[in-house]
Structure 1
Amino acid sequence: MSSILLGLGMIILTVVMYAGATYVYRRLKWPIVMPVLTTTAIIVLILVITDIPLDTYMLGGQWIQELLGPAVVSLAFPLSKHIHVLKKNILPVIGGTIIGSITGMVTGASVAILLGYPKEMVIAILPNR
């Protein structure tokens, strides 16, 4: 029972932080206060200050993660209604996907190297064929 309440509490904490960050972002319009970035930073700070383990926080995050699959699938229908827009912008879509993928790989490997991870770990975080 307590894990259910803790999970709900973590979900509520995240939603409240995101709503507040969205409000601030709409007022200031500064890229540095983007809601996802601000919410993540505040949640990490709260977890560190209150000494709450990530596993405890993820009790709520686990439920949200399970809902992401159906949410992504449900986006397919509205996306299919706008297939003509995708076809019209195919080069920017493919280019953005490729550049984003390369940036993610380079950033992940670079951070791992800067943090002193062994070579095997750096290779392991990169995508395989």
Structure 2
Amino acid sequence: MQIFNSPLFGIFLTIITFVIGLEIQTKLNIKFLTPMITSSILIIAMLLIFKIPYSSYKNGADILTFFVAPATVVLAVPLYKNLEIIKKYFFPILIGCLIGICIGIFTAIILCNIFGINKEIIISMLPKSVTSAIGFEISQKIGAIMEITMVFIVFCGIIGYACADFIFKIFKIDNKIAKGVALGSCSHVLGTAKAIELGDIEGSVSTVSISISGIIAVIIIPLIIKLI
């Protein structure tokens, strides 16, 4: 059908399924069931049931993907509101991001080697803790499998969003700066969404942590790959 070849098909299908996913999460109150998971399942199901080529959906989805990076600018609002706090704690935030990224990378490498996962998959996993816009660029630069990188980026975001409250409670983490750094450096935008729910300071710190973690990842991932 002609409608499936229009970019509007991919755009509207993504938006509609995301809204449905949001409603499902609100009604059931299951944190792991994020709109990203629900909408992905619904989109895959629709493409399979109606035998719609993925390329038809991708025509519109690519347009939305283009706006991922510009949309990140919105995160500057809580950052501006708490600029003085960011300046005061910038060095601890920087160190926290560096440690967070390094632990994420080396944990992935160690676990993959233990389970005998091949090098190509390991490389594709390394940018998992940065936001998708940065992860996309890193993945291209290091020759990773783009789809695998994106899956792990989404997975890390969902885990961070869903488990943050539980982890903070178990380890008795009450410091707002620490919460923001943890969420931003490990779970990028979805983690930042959770940080904003916790408070303005957490949201601001998480926003800065996304950028710092992205810069650190861009620098160290290509260097680490040479050692694998």
Unpaired segments ≥5 residues, structure 1:
none
Q: What do you get for the CA RMSD once the two structures are aligned?
A: 3.8
* Matched letter for residue 56 of structure 2: T
TM-score (structure 2 length as normaliser) = 0.41
Deviation at 1:19, TM superposition (A): 0.9
Deviation at 1:31, TM superposition (A): 2.3
Does residue 128 in structure 1 map to residue 222 in structure 2? yes
Task: Give aligned pairs, total.
Answer: 122
Quickly say closer, same or farther: Cα 1:122–1:5, change in 2 above 3 A.
closer
Q: Distance in 1 between matches of 2:20 and 2:102?
A: 28
Deviation at 1:44, TM superposition (A): 1.6
* Matched letter for residue 50 of structure 2: T
Q: Distance in 2 between matches of 1:85 and 1:27?
A: 36
Corresponding position of 1:62: 62
Unpaired segments ≥5 residues, structure 2:
127-220, 224-228
Corresponding position of 1:102: 104
Quickly say closer, same or farther: Cα 1:31–1:11, change in 2 above 3 A.
same
Corresponding position of 1:45: 45
Deviation at 1:73, TM superposition (A): 2.4
- 1:83-102 aligned within 5 A: 83-84=83-84, 86=86, 95=96, 98=100, 102=104
Deviation at 1:49, TM superposition (A): 2.7
Is the partner of 1:52 in helix, strand or coil?
coil
TM-score (structure 1 length as normaliser) = 0.66
> Over residues 62-97 of structure 1, what are the superposed CA-to-partner deviations in whole Å (9 max), with x where a residue is unaligned?
111122222112432442222355568876897578
* Matched letter for residue 108 of structure 2: V
